[in-house]
Amino acid sequence: MLAKDILRRNKTALQQALCADYQLILDKVLERSLITQREYNNLKKINGENVEGHVVALVDKIMNKGEDTCRSFLDLLQTDEQIKTTYDLKNTQISDTSLLPTPVQVASSRCDDAPASKKQKKDEVYELKSKPVGLCVIINNKNFHNNTQKTRNGTDKDARSLAEVFTWLGFRVLACKDQTSDRMRQVLKSFASLGAGAQPQGLSVEEWSEVGFTAPQQDIKHGDAFFCCILSHGVNGSVLGTDSKPVNIKEITRTFKATEESALTGKPKIFLIQACQGNGIQKGVLLKDVEIDG
């Protein structure tokens, strides 16, 4: 069970117990760096609240910080001797041993001093063991129909730079150039449904190598992670195909939702969008007192 869920289920009983000494628990979470000094000062100076109100604010603050902070907070409650003797936590069900950091063998004893928030359970980390690590698919729209949009000069250089970086990271990089909105959807659906023995059908796909983008020489299959990079013009919430018709970004990500058949279920899927999201242009800012090399 997630630490945040355990806190949520035991929130009322936990808050009642911590009311016994609010200042102590506040000092303890600061010592563990679960809150900043500024947050500590703000929590200490809440006006118009009784002790219970202060405790509620503290627990809410911890829960809003995410899973790692919640895990460290539970670890603090279960392992700190002063807390165990000060608060009656018997009525709370927070003693889930699976939440405590998993012992690991280390080369140096200095690692034992690492904060609990840095220690992650194995099932919370994506394992990237496949070779290649996965696919990086680049949709690169440069030329638009009937001059409806400006030619995106420089986008080929961006695509090559992405290809070089992701190749260095261990990914297999594929690219589809100048795709209409319908073709973009077809590309996305093809890679979302790519499985054992299945290959993208009817697509013009090129693969990055040392000599540039060329025709793929091997079957295409997913690894342990997936990146999709879309370089195009855009409007608010959408990217444009070369026919200047929009494809909603939410539609793009929903195409890769987890299913029993998907080879990407339970694996990280990351989308990088390089596209304007409106007509506004941010003005530059002049820097004062900039030193110039002679």
Q: How far apart are CA 63 and CA 66, in angstroms?
A: 6
Average pLDDT per run of 10 along the chain, which is 294 residues long? 84 88 92 90 76 88 89 89 87 58 41 52 76 96 90 94 95 96 94 75 86 89 95 94 95 89 90 84 60 50
Residue 231, pLDDT score = 97
Residues labelled catalytic? 233, 276
C-alpha distances out from residue 76 to 64, 120, 177, 182, 235, Å: 17, 15, 53, 54, 48
Sign of CA dihedral 164, 169, 174, 178: negative
Domains annotated on the chain, with CATH: 3-99 (1.10.533.10), 134-274 (3.40.50.1460)
Which residues does 4 contact at the CB level (< 8 Å), separation at least 6?
63, 66, 67, 70
Residue 101, pLDDT score = 45
Determine contact, residues 271/184, Cβ cutoff 8 Å.
no
Residue 281, pLDDT score = 63
The amino acid sitting at 36 is T
